Amino acid sequence: QRAESRIAQRAGVADRGRPADAWLAETCRQTWRYKLHVRLTLDLFGRIRERAEEEAIRIFGDNLKDLLLAPPAGPKAVIGLDPGLRTGVKVAVVDATGKVLSVDTIYPLQPKNQHEASAATIAKLAEQHGARLISIGNGTGSRETEAFVAELALKHPELKLTRIVVSEAGASVYSASERAAKEFPGMDVSLRGAVSIARRLQDPLAELVKIEPKAIGVGQYQHDVNQVKLGARLVHVVEDCVNAVGVDLNTASAPLLARVSGLSSGTAEAVVRYRDEHGAFTSRRKLLEVPRLGPKTYEQAAGFLRIRDGEQPLDGSSVHPEAYPVVDRIAQATGLPVGQLIGNGAVLAKLDPKAFVDERFGLPTVQDILRELLKPGRDPRPEFKTAQFSADVHKISDLTPGMVLEGVVTNVAAFGAFIDIGVHQDGLAHVSELSDKYIKDPREVVKTGQIVKVRVLEVDAPRKRISLSLKLSAAREAAVGGERRSNSAPPSSRPQNAPGRAGPGAGRPSSGKGLTQDTPKPAPMGTLGNLLSEAMKAKR
């Protein structure tokens, strides 16, 4: 009625007792009902959907960034295990540079149970190649495989084996991709997944860039949002992560180099071909000899490429070649060669950045250069740590409310965080269970790949649902106990719309019944009118 009256007022229509007034009033009603109402409804829901899509894309991008910047184990020989029951556990051994040394398939689990033979195979590979780290994919059979490796480590303490469970998200997609076929032309598809799992432990960033970002699956509703916007956002995130960490020019693969600013896939492959034909790069300037790589591309990419132990010490840092003259002036002022200046905190701390500012390089740039000289080639990723799953918990039926376990955050959504606690089914910690204080965004507390301690709140084995909490204090435990006792009270002990009750009518009156003085009456405009009013206010 209110909308119709506003249309009539705008059009100058009113009931003045004239024969056509009823027809004019009906015209205003139909104008609202069949024209404006439909148009405004579509526009409103379009705006709401667009806002929801932007939020979903942001969450996916933030989770991907956390996953890409997960701490690397470093250049160490690794044995990768891709768990499987009927098809066996796929084994791949890679050296410190990621080169595949050996592949095999073992059957330590049901139904074949070739336990002794499988243990002998792993022990032989570990001793032969000096591998001390074993990377286990977190798919079906991962806990059984982890228990097998743990038993092997106890029987052979001289091997000093350390097992780590890693996410195998996207490994199957990569294994069947054209890129994997080109990298491992004579290798079985199932074995390529084991190689990827091993390399993910060494350097998650270098391996995950080979996979289509959307296939990694660390977002929410990613298949329902605008795929063009999602793809652009994820590509931007990957490039930012690669540039922030930096790339070793002499060991990086073509897919990793292609993510560096300024380098395309074709240029990256040209760099790798030149490296294979002429040997390792000894300086950044050698890049200008690569076909199809001109001065502009070099200017864009050089600062993100690293050369360890090259002719120029600064080539191993993030200092751009254009800024080398600034470092030369700093070296002249200190009387030390550049090689001795790098990492010399006692000397660098005494320097005044303003003394090296000129018309080309301002104070912020000089300050960045000094920080980089203090810790050249520093890696922004955190220190490598692993989660220790409970030895007594292997499946959902082993869980009981009140247990405190260690787990790894696998995904963060707007409503909470999914956490792997080693039972083949991620548990959910609702946003209200992430902190003792109010938080709006779960990422304020947790991020993908983070190791956390959680308390088991509820276990629903038939539906495979696990409710977790990061609130571990004694006060919280008492509160949870009190809440459970109150939930077991008869229905009549709590009003239908009492706060905290979940249900269709929770927190709001139904059809005007049960209204009290403290309950706000619904606005006469109705739900759509209220939403439109809020949208207009937000627009203003």
**Pair type for strands 404-413 and 416-420:** antiparallel
Residue 480 DSSP class: H
CA–CA dist 133, 126 (Å, integer):
9
Q: Specify the pLDDT at position 459.
A: 92
- The residues with which 162 forms a beta bridge, in sequence order, are 133
- 423 vs 25, 411, 418, 471, CA distance in Å? 66, 16, 13, 21
CA–CA dist 467, 474 (Å, integer):
18
Q: Specify the pLDDT at position 509.
A: 36
Residue 383 DSSP class: P
Q: Specify the pLDDT at position 220.
A: 67
Q: Specify the pLDDT at position 299.
A: 92
Residue 413, number of CB atoms within 10 A of its CB: 18
Residue 166 DSSP class: E
- 151 vs 144, 155, 161, 424, 527, CA distance in Å? 11, 6, 11, 20, 62
Q: Specify the pLDDT at position 530.
A: 53
Residue in the block written with tokens 């049960």: 514
- At residue 212, φ and ψ (nearest 5 deg) are -55, 120
Amino acid identity for residue 45 in this structure: F
| pLDDT per position as a tens digit, 406-445 | 888 888 888 899 998 878 788 999 999 999 888 888 888 9
Q: Specify the pLDDT at position 537.
A: 55
- 387 vs 152, 450, 471, CA distance in Å? 19, 9, 18
- Give the pair of three-digit tokens for residue 2: 């209110």
Q: Specify the pLDDT at position 221.
A: 66
- Pick out the chain residues at pLDDT < 70: 219-221, 377, 473-540
Residue 404, number of CB atoms within 10 A of its CB: 12
CA–CA dist 287, 249 (Å, integer):
10
DSSP track, 84-124: -STT-EEEEEE-TT--EEEEEEE--STTT--HHHHHHHHHH
- Give the pair of three-digit tokens for residue 75: 């250049």
* Cα dihedral value 44, 45, 46, 50, nearest 10: 110
Amino acid identity for residue 73 in this structure: A
Residue 237, number of CB atoms within 10 A of its CB: 19
- At residue 341, φ and ψ (nearest 5 deg) are -75, -35
Residue 384 DSSP class: P
Contact 202, 94 (CB under 8 A): yes
Q: Specify the pLDDT at position 19.
A: 85
CA–CA dist 205, 524 (Å, integer):
55
- Give the pair of three-digit tokens for residue 377: 């080639």
CA–CA dist 372, 51 (Å, integer):
39
CA–CA dist 453, 433 (Å, integer):
12
Beta-carbon contacts of 332 under 8 Å, excluding residues fewer than 6 positions away, are: none
Contact 165, 389 (CB under 8 A): yes
CA–CA dist 68, 385 (Å, integer):
15
Q: Specify the pLDDT at position 18.
A: 85
Q: Specify the pLDDT at position 104.
A: 94
Measured on CA atoms in the order 148, 454, 380, 192, is the torsion positive or negative?
A: positive
Beta-carbon contacts of 499 under 8 Å, excluding residues fewer than 6 positions away, are: 507
